[in-house]
Amino acid sequence: MQAQLPGPWSPLLGRLTLDQIPYQVPILQWTFAGVVVIGLAVVFCVLYFRKAGYLWREWLTTVDHKKIGVMYIVVGLVMLFRGFVDGLMMRTQQVLANGPNAPGIMGAQHGFLPPYHFDQVYSAHGTIMILFAATPILTGFQNIVVPLQIGARDMAFPYMNALSLWLTTAGAALVMLSLFVGDFSAAGWVGLIPLTELPFSPGTGVDYWMWAIQISSVGTTLNAINMITTIVEMRAPGMSWFRLPVFSWTTLSSNIIALTAFPVLGVALALLGADRYLGAHFFTAGNGGNLMLYTNLFWIWGHPEVYFLILPVFGILSEVVPTFSEKPLFGYVTMVAATFAIAGISWLVWLHHFFTMGAGPDINGFFSVATMLVGIPTGVKVFNWAFTLYRGRIHFSVPMLWALFGLFLLLAGGLTGMMLALPAINYTVHDSVFLVAHFHCMVLLVVAAAFAGVTYWFPKLFGFKLDEGWGKAFFWVFTLGTVITFAAMFALGFEGETRRLDWTFDPAWKPMLIVEEFGIMLYVVSIVCFVIMLAVSIRDRAKTRLAQPWPTARTLEWLTHTPVPFYNFAVTPQVNMRDELAWRREHGLDQAKPDRYEAIHMPSNSALPVIIGALAGVWGFAMIWRIWWLAGLSLAGIIVCVIIRSFDKNEGYYLQPEEIEAMETNLAIGAIIAEQPDRSHSSIPAEAH
């Protein structure tokens, strides 16, 4: 019952043939050259400094939540850059290809990207930014911060944590691979139906999109289970629910959303897969299929997904604002309640993404009202932050600047969201760039919070601060770029520009398109500032080494040493108050040392997660190209790995009191970038039982 395939297929290579490698496209030649050069440079550095063993033992096989979090964020930042380049190409194409007489180069009638290539660029941009940039970056912060904030040694399931990371990475790798082998989907990040059906997208682009998301969302779902279990089960003694820091609360709610929403996406994509691979008719126009069913399923996931992204962002703001206002967060209980109200409502509003489908006034009315209800808890939050700032002693450090800009974006994005939530308005601006500007305010709020988080928590992990001067330069250039680009985009929306145009036919749009291009150029400059900031900070790290980088921080993660030792807390803390560190500081207890240490049980590293991740990537590749033997083989490999794991008798090791004492006095030995001796044979000490 396999679907009728257009084009050749061979048992050995499936649909893969030599002309699937786009070596004749100049942009891709340059990209490929760039990737090869950077790749070789990285490999050379690793070998030259003899770090291959270190990389394998301390990072690739690690189960430490902080290192996994760092790797999540690195993957996310790399993908953020890739997604940004896509954005840059789209902006440039739209300004070059303006008006009927716009010239064209490199095979394009107008501008430099032919429509088919342009369509892939925006599809990749959306998919990457939401699923492979924003999601991993936020997951990374949750990984790093939540166990520290609740006083835990690690996540509830450290091994599964590594597995989640490598599954997400496998998905990201498939998206990157589509640049050089075959195509990416040209059907938008939402998978516009019926365009994603085999007759209309006969290539492998949609398959890349589908399997990359499918594999990485298994990782996200596993991570959600891990986060929920960690917060429910692993809190330190005294960390009762209403002492839980707000970032942990938002992580909990956000992962409840992930756990309940991602399966819907999995089902939607699996049904699409059945259509494309088995010749089923779930979403076809004829033979009993129903196109709208796909759109409906996609947004049942899609809307909760955007709140999955925004809730941890609210959590980051709720940590940063009090720290740099020298005040406790205003209205903690209402903040928590608002978080869960938002999560609950996020399940009731998905139809606002397709008001124009024509389901009728009752239905559009219901979903419109439900959507606007979200404004109430969100308003509660905004006022809470405002009251926290009110009469606070405000420090305009880099994280605080990002948080304040985030509040501005929330206002702009939230109010335009309210406009879109009115069906009468929505009918006129749906699928215009006004909508695109709305959600970019929101997702740039995610980016702003991500950079607030990077600058705020970086010293916790690495022991030194990021350079304030370059950090501020980065902030201001980025902010200016954002305001200029998206103010112009709102205007273009009102001028009637629809989204996803490879050719901007109306010459009246020219001025605003030029403004947008100018804005995006500022982003380019801001990236340079970011890189300089990193370089300068690493160069001057000895000068900015501080025991307490933010003396006004309030939550438990700042109670451990900076840089944080790989075992987090030498002694599990006893929690007495909501803002535990602030309370201890007030009572002069924040520097107290325990009188003796006890052995700590630690999980051992494992190579299985990274191997399973790699096999999942191979499996995805084989499914995309329909190389059945390879798919079968890699699936069998994954099953073998799982079986090996279940017979693994390695139950971790014990860190002895003397070692802990040494690391507590000399923090450099225990820091996460330090190389650890092999402790896998440390036997279980008698007193641990």
Partner 1 sequence: MAGAHSDPLTHPEVAQGGVLRYIAGFISTTALMGAALVVTLRHDQPYETYLGLVGGLALLALVSQAVLYYGLDISRSQIWKSVALMLTMPLFIITVGLTVWMFQSLDQRTMLMPQTMEQPTLLQ
- The residues of the shown chain that bind ligand HEM, judged by CB under 6 A, are 190, 306, 309-310, 352-353, 371, 374-375, 378, 414, 417-418, 420-421, 426, 430, 435, 438-439, 442-443, 446
Tell which phi-psi region holds residue 117, choosing left (phi > 0), alpha (psi between -120 and 50) or beta. Answer: alpha
* Closest residue by Cα to residue 197 from 99, 296, 291, 295: 291
Nearest-angstrom CA–CA distance, 575 and 240: 8
CB of 206 to ligand HEM, least distance (A): 17
Q: Which of 15, 91, 110, 303 binds Cu ion (CB under 5 A)?
A: 303
- CB of 228 or CB of 663, closer to partner 1: 228
Indicate which of partner 1, ligand HEM, Cu ion, none lies near residue 541 (CB less than 5 to 8 Å, by partner kind). none
Place of tokens 């709610």: 253
Which residues are CB-contacts of 163 (< 8 A; sequence separation ≥ 6)? 219, 222, 608, 609, 612, 613
Q: Which of 52, 369, 640, 688 binds partner 1 (CB under 8 A)?
A: 688
Q: Is 292 in the site for partner 1 (CB under 8 A)?
A: yes
Indicate which of partner 1, ligand HEM, Cu ion, none lies near residue 688 (CB less than 5 to 8 Å, by partner kind). partner 1
HSE, CB side, 13 Å, CA atoms: give it for residue 300: 16
CB of 250 to ligand HEM, least distance (A): 13
CB of 319 to ligand HEM, least distance (A): 19
Q: Is 652 in the site for partner 1 (CB under 8 A)?
A: yes
Residues 310, 311, 315, 320, Cα dihedral to 10°: 20
Helix (H) or strand (E) holding 654: strand 653-655
Which region, judged by CB under 8 A, interacts with partner 1, from 354-362, 426-434, 611-619, 672-680?
354-362
Q: Is 100 in the site for partner 1 (CB under 8 A)?
A: no
Identify the DSSP state of 502.
Answer: S
* Closest residue by Cα to residue 585 from 620, 613, 617, 548: 548
Which region, judged by CB under 8 A, interacts with partner 1, from 39-47, 75-83, 357-365, 604-612?
357-365
Nearest-angstrom CA–CA distance, 113 and 107: 8
Indicate which of Cu ion, partner 1, ligand HEM, none lies near residue 645 (CB less than 5 to 8 Å, by partner kind). none
Q: Which of 11, 100, 358, 677 binds partner 1 (CB under 8 A)?
A: 358
Question: Residue of minimal CB distance from ligand HEM?
Answer: 417
Tokens of 287: 């033979």
* Cβ pair 308, 272 in contact under 8 A: no
Nearest-angstrom CA–CA distance, 586 and 593: 16
Q: Is 234 in the site for partner 1 (CB under 8 A)?
A: yes
Q: Is 645 in the site for partner 1 (CB under 8 A)?
A: no
Q: Is 394 in the site for partner 1 (CB under 8 A)?
A: no
Nearest-angstrom CA–CA distance, 532 and 544: 16
Strand partners, 601: 654
Q: Which of 21, 363, 487, 577 binds partner 1 (CB under 8 A)?
A: 363
Which residues are CB-contacts of 456 (< 8 A; sequence separation ≥ 6)? 316, 319, 320, 323, 399, 550
CB of 141 to partner 1, least distance (A): 23
CB of 652 to partner 1, least distance (A): 7
Nearest-angstrom CA–CA distance, 427 and 264: 27
Count of residues engaged in binding partner 1, rule: CB under 8 A: 24
- CB of 61 or CB of 290, closer to partner 1: 290
Q: Which of 100, 360, 588, 677 binds partner 1 (CB under 8 A)?
A: 360
Nearest-angstrom CA–CA distance, 251 and 233: 14
Q: Is 225 in the site for partner 1 (CB under 8 A)?
A: no
- CB of 303 or CB of 460, closer to Cu ion: 303
* Cβ pair 576, 130 in contact under 8 A: no
SS (H, E, C) 237-252: CCCCHHHCCHHHHHHH
Indicate which of partner 1, ligand HEM, Cu ion, none lies near residue 641 (CB less than 5 to 8 Å, by partner kind). none
Q: Establish whether the linkage from the previous residue to 549 is cis, with ω within 30° of 0.
A: no
Residues 15-34 that bind Cu ion (CB under 5 A): none
Task: Print the binding letters for residues 562-601 with partner 1: x by CB under 8 A, - otherwise.
Answer: ---------------------------------------x
Which residues are CB-contacts of 3 (< 8 A; sequence separation ≥ 6)? 198, 275, 276, 277, 278, 279
* Closest residue by Cα to residue 241 from 254, 255, 259, 253: 253
Contact positions vs partner 1 (CB under 8 A): 233-234, 260, 264, 290, 292-293, 296, 300, 347-348, 351, 357-360, 362-363, 366, 601, 651-652, 684, 688
Contact positions vs Cu ion (CB under 5 A): 303
